[in-house]
Structure 1
């Protein structure tokens, strides 16, 4: 990873997978200039769901979250780029698609709070990225590689 890069965890939720939106979502991040360093098509089991949503345990909506995230396959990914977590969050839109601007992933592809297509690490939660990446990926499942277009995405990419 070069000095300005950060990795962030992103997941296409079961509704996004069912609606055939994986390609659309991946394309948006690629178009933006982010680099995919890990991807996994998988079913989340109860145990992983409980770990992933651990902070919400005991809240009234917790069981619904677990039930939904385990209801079908998901596509888990790790993206890398400058300030990647904040970039991805702004591209996703608000948690509630109804409040998300057109042009964002949720603003274009979602209508309902419970089925909001995508999850991304919270840039305001220190360590959320590392925690979520480690939950879903082993270190050897993440690939270090050079994006050929980097010099056309970052003005200083040719300098180091």
Structure 2
């Protein structure tokens, strides 16, 4: 177990469908601490960097077009095993195959218009957070609910 940060991007489909509050509420109710949040319009340049690993697939331009269709909400969450927790809450990439109760299982019907992007590892989370946030946009503050979310030294351990 380790305390870590992770990136969540609420995609244009989330913004256009008016689901921002419902998605943010799920992470908040789980007990993840919001360390940073902002609305941004993604550009071709940042998407070429962010999705470089997909640059050779035929759908690459379609993916970028989808991500530039409207602003996104960039969030940085923190918690014990945050990357794993967020990915479990999110569900598999294809919304039609995602389990009910997951974010994609409840809100998505597509592998592309699938509500959120989440970091896939603690190492990538750090890279992605630095891509979308300046250091002064990430906040560290005492969450008063910590004793009710974690057992004793679990959070700082």
Which TM-score bucket, shorter chain as reference?
over 0.9
What is the CA–CA distance in structure 2 between the aligned matches of 1:8 and 1:91, rounded to whole Å? 13
Which residue of structure 2 aligns with residue 130 of structure 1?
Answer: 126
Displacement after TM superposition at 1:127 (Å): 1.8
Which residue of structure 1 aligns with residue 34 of structure 2?
Answer: 36
Which residue of structure 2 aligns with residue 98 of structure 1?
Answer: 96
Report which stretch shifted further, 32-41 or 150-159.
150-159
Which residue of structure 1 aligns with residue 144 of structure 2?
Answer: 148
Matches within 5 A, 1:14-29: 14-29=12-27
TM-score, length-normalised on structure 1? 0.93
Contiguous gaps of at least 5 residues in structure 1: none
Contiguous gaps of at least 5 residues in structure 2: none
Describe the superposition over 1:37-75 as per-residue Cα deviations: whole angstroms up to 9, x where unpaired. 000101001111111111111211111111111111100
Provide the secondary structure at the position in 1 that maps to 2:61. helix
CA RMSD of aligned residues (A): 1.6
Q: Any runs of at least 4 consecutive aligned residues in structure 1 with deviations exceeding 6 A, and if so which?
A: none
Describe the superposition over 1:73-102 as per-residue Cα deviations: whole angstroms up to 9, x where unpaired. 100000000000000000000000111111
TM-score, length-normalised on structure 2? 0.94
2:118 to 99, 117, 120: 120
Q: How many residues align?
A: 156
Provide the secondary structure at the position in 2 that maps to 1:99. coil
Displacement after TM superposition at 1:158 (Å): 8.9
What is the CA–CA distance in structure 2 between the aligned matches of 1:51 and 1:159, rounded to whole Å? 33
Displacement after TM superposition at 1:132 (Å): 0.5
Provide the secondary structure at the position in 1 that maps to 2:29. helix
Which residue of structure 2 aligns with residue 78 of structure 1?
Answer: 76
